[in-house]
Structure formats: C-alpha cells, structure tokens
Amino acid sequence: MNSPKNHPIPNIPASKFPKVVIVGAGFAGLKLARKLIKKNFQVILLDKNNYHQFQPLFYQVATAGLEASAISFPLRKIFHNTNNVTFRMAEVASVDSVSKKLFTSEGYVDYDYLVLAMGADTNYFGNKNIEYFATPMKTVSEALYIRNKIISNYERAINIERPENRKHLMNVVIVGGGPTGVELAGAIAELRNNVLPKDYPQLNFHNMKVVLIEAGPVLLGPMSKESQSHALKYLEGLGVEVMLSTLVKDYNGQIVTLEGDVFLETQTLLWAAGIKPNLIEGFEQAHYAPNGRLLVNEFSEVKGNNGIFAIGDISLMTNEKYPKGHPQVAQVALQQAVTLSHNLIHREKSQEQHAFQYKDLGSMATVGRKLAVVDLPFIKFQGLFAWLTWLFVHLMAILGVKNRLFVFINWSWNYLSFDPSLRLLIKPKYVRESERKELIEEK
C-alpha cells in the first residue's frame, strides 16, 4: 500500500453528528453502515475495494459458473441518496487511540467511534513454500485467478504430446475440508465429469485427479455427523479423492508432499485450510488473542480501548456459551453488526447497551448438482431438498435485485445446459505502456 499520509482525508462532508468510522465493507462492516443510514451519526465507510464481495459464492466464480460482477456490488451505489454515509476507497494502516485518529493511504480521519471489520485473509500457518506456490481464494480477484489458471493449464496440457507429462497441469488438489474446500472440490469434479471432456476431446479425463485434503478426521468439522458423512459420500460419488487426517508438508509448485512421503503432482494447489485476521498497527500485544484476533467484550468493544470496536472474523468474543469464541462465519458477523448498531444508538442516548447473543441459524454446504447438506437447529437434511434450500438461502442473501436476478438466471441456465459457459481466459493482459513500469515496481 501507499504510505499513510499525514493530512486529513479530503472532502469528508462536515457534520454535527458523532463520527463512526467503519473499516471494511464485508458482511459485518456493510451491515453496520446500512443499519446506521438516516440515524444521528456521520458514518465513514472505508474499504480497499469499491465493492462488496459475496464470499460464499467465490467458488462458483472460480469454476466458471458465475461472473465476478454477479457477486460483487458497487458500494457507492448502496449509499446513493443517503446523506449521512460517505464511502471512501482507502487502505488502512494504523490507529492512534489517544488522538482518536485512523491513518490510511489517503490521509487520516478523526473518529468518535471506530469499528474494525477487516475480516480475515488466508493462513498458511508459517509454511513459506506453500504461501509462495499455492493459490488462495479469499477475494473475488483470487477466484478469477483460479478460473484463469485452470483454463490456461488445459490450454497448455493440450500442447503436450505424452499423457504422463500432462498430469501436473490436469490434476487439482484442494487443501481444507471446510465448506470452501468441499464446494470447490465438488464443482471442479463436475467440470471434469461434464464439461472439460467436451472442450478438450483430445485429452483423457480419466487421468485427471481431483483431491481434497483435510488435516482433521472429518469434513465440515462443525457440522452434524449426518452432514459430514453425506458430504463425503457425495464427493466420492463425483470422483473426488478425499484424504482425511492428512497433513500437507511441502509444495514446490509442481509436487505436493504429504506426511509419510506421499507425493501428488499438480500445478494447482488451492489453499482453503485456514484464515487469519487482517490487522492494523496501534494495538498492544495484550489486545490480541494468541490466534491474532482482537479481544473484545460482550459489546464488541476492544478491551481497554474505549470507543474502538471489532466485529466479524477479526474479533474474538467469549462468553459462557462460546468459551473459545464464536465461529468465524457470516451469521456471526451480521448479527454482531446489528447488535452494535443498536448499542451505538443506545450509547449516544446514555441508555443501557445489550450484550451480544449469537443466534445460530444453522449451517449448510453444497457439494454439487442436487447434492447439499443442511443442519438447521431442529432438523437436518441432505440431497435435492437441501440443495434447493441452499440455492434459495444464498440467492436471497445476495445484495441487489439485479445481481440476484443474474445469479438466478445463471443458475437456471447452468442447471438446464450442464454447461457453465464462462470459460473465458480474459486475462489482465493489457497494461498501458506508460504504466508497465509502475506495475513492476508495485510487485
């Protein structure tokens, strides 16, 4: 990022209301900003992108089922005609909790309340080789990168004479048996089974392996036993090789080394094995949990920092029911945002604040066409009806009527045609001559 600038961010409108600065427009930050529309606060929402990303569908962007724009929503559009919310694209560097200033790539901004909602990034658990060679999927850019990578690997494979020399281009290995890993593995297996053989009739897809590796003994760890076993059965039915209780030791861009010196040949190692919070400077060691999350009290306030809050994946709140903290999922982020919006209003009126209570609405994951698993508080089910439930819940959660419509049409089309048609290798090939040097320096 650019180094933080020591002047106020220009063109922030004046306001008589207390200033709430929200960092990050993911599920938590965006929900809070929307809850504060037309309330007696001046809200400044910052994000490094100018759009909200709908993370649960990244895997469909990666597997050519959805266009990136269908699950991305321009933030400025959300706040048309709202006078009290200002969006600004900026990267955040540090906070000074004494002078109540947040420093960013575009200048600093004063706050009365600061809400940190920067979410999490990929965690490689310190393995530098894996970080260097593997491919993460925590942004829509990364999802598009995966799509391009898989397609270009096939375009390269077809130019190789001997089948044994194509393996590293055709195999895909996914690490992490959570919903992201399961959904990616299922979608890639379906591409292999139904679509790629039509695109590349000269290649033999019996030679293409899709491998899902999980360190723990089960897939979808936090879900029910029924869901876990059904997900495993569905994946194996699609021809995914699932390796449980298996640790990845190393990767050199070509060969994955597992414990026990098992080797897998692939150029495509997709890493969905863990996350770590995105942090900024300005807090002491005591404010962090050992896993790097910011310790917050029952009102999401960072311990020892009056007026600074953290919500969503970045924060760690413990209580009797969740002594190790809440799960890092969208529902927690959204509910924390809602509670915080009420508490900020109460606080301004000197009313009592309410402790956050997580209401677990259940969880679900999809494996493939007509294959999903759903755990609701009072019922668990799998298969076609679970798949329809998954589609409906995710469709309703997408922001904006137009995006919802486009996702719905895409899904219907893909379902009927068996052919997600976005196999386009539109690479960032074009850079204006005069900017090539800049680009190189940035890297």
Is residue 395 within the footprint of its own copies (CB under 8 A)? no
**Which residue in 205, 322, 381, 406 binds its own copies (CB under 8 A)?**
406
Q: Interaction with its own copies in 115-174: which residues (CB under 8 A)?
A: 131-135, 139-142, 144-145, 149, 151, 155, 158-161
* Distance, CA of 39 to CA of 20 (rounded, Å): 11
* Distance, CA of 333 to CA of 273 (rounded, Å): 20
Pick from 185, 183, 245, 176: nearest CA to 211? 185
Give me the 182-221 binding string for its own copies, x by CB under 8 A, dash otherwise.
----------------xxx-xx------------------
Give me the 258-297 binding string for its own copies, x by CB under 8 A, dash otherwise.
----------------------------------------
| Closest approach of its own copies to the CB of residue 149, in Å | 8
| Closest approach of its own copies to the CB of residue 77, in Å | 6
CA 342 to chain centre: 26
Contact 296, 353 (CB under 8 A): no
Is residue 429 within the footprint of its own copies (CB under 8 A)? yes
CA-only gyration radius of the chain, Å: 23
**Nearer to its own copies among residue 165 and residue 245 (C-beta):** 165
Q: Interaction with its own copies in 91-110: which residues (CB under 8 A)?
A: 106-107
Q: Interaction with its own copies in 286-345: which residues (CB under 8 A)?
A: none
Contact 233, 225 (CB under 8 A): no
Q: Which stretch binds its own copies (CB under 8 A): 181-189, 273-281, 334-342, 429-437?
A: 429-437
316: which strand partners? 295
Q: Calculate ∠ Cα 331-335-340, nearest 5°.
A: 150
Q: Count the site residues for its own copies by CB under 8 A.
A: 71
- Give the DSSP letter string of 213-272: E-SSSSSSTTS-HHHHHHHHHHHHHTTEEEE-S--EEEE-SSEEEETTTEEEE-SEEEE-
Six-digit token string for 304: 């020892």
Contact 264, 171 (CB under 8 A): yes
| Closest approach of its own copies to the CB of residue 81, in Å | 8
| Closest approach of its own copies to the CB of residue 53, in Å | 9
| Closest approach of its own copies to the CB of residue 105, in Å | 9
Six-digit token string for 330: 């969208």
Q: Interaction with its own copies in 56-85: which residues (CB under 8 A)?
A: 67-69, 72, 74, 76-77, 80-81
* Distance, CA of 212 to CA of 359 (rounded, Å): 31
**Nearer to its own copies among residue 52 and residue 394 (C-beta):** 52
- Give the DSSP letter string of 277-321: E---BS--GGGB-TTSPEEB-TTSBBTT-TTEEE-GGGEE---SS
**Which residue in 355, 361, 376, 409 binds its own copies (CB under 8 A)?**
409
Six-digit token string for 58: 């990244």
Is residue 423 within the footprint of its own copies (CB under 8 A)? yes
Q: Interaction with its own copies in 34-53: which residues (CB under 8 A)?
A: 49-51
